[in-house]
Amino acid sequence: MFGLMVRFTCKNEESAAQFDALVSRTGELIKENEPGTLVYAVHRVDGRPLERIFYELYRDKDAFETHESQDYVRTFLDQRDLYLADVQVDRLDLMSGKGIDVER
């Protein structure tokens, strides 16, 4: 399995609302079209209204590459910078977890 944890910081409240709308549109398409995307969770950060955390878990790196190549993901990546002040990405190697069948 392959995962990401991404922290997005929006420019301001208006940008956060527009970013959330972009995320919602993109998320629906991910749900409909990506069986290799196992988890795609978006979180607001308590006490930090301009921050969002994405937790993404893919079957493998090929599933991640498939995700990244989708037109709607490319659109998200192209448009997100209009709303963001900062992006931090951590690539994750899943070791264990509840609800996740970890193959070794």
pLDDT along the chain (104 residues), means of 10: 96 98 98 96 97 96 97 98 98 85 58
pLDDT at position 79 is 97
Query: How many CA atoms does the CB half-sphere of 71 hold within 13 Å?
Result: 0
pLDDT at position 104 is 40
Q: Where are the domains of the chain?
A: 9-92
Report d(CA 35, CA 64) in Å as an integer: 11
Domain at 9-92, CATH from 3.40.190.10, 3.30.70.100, 3.10.129.10, 3.90.1150.10: 3.30.70.100
- Spell out where 1-104 has E strands: 2-10, 37-45, 48-58, 84-92
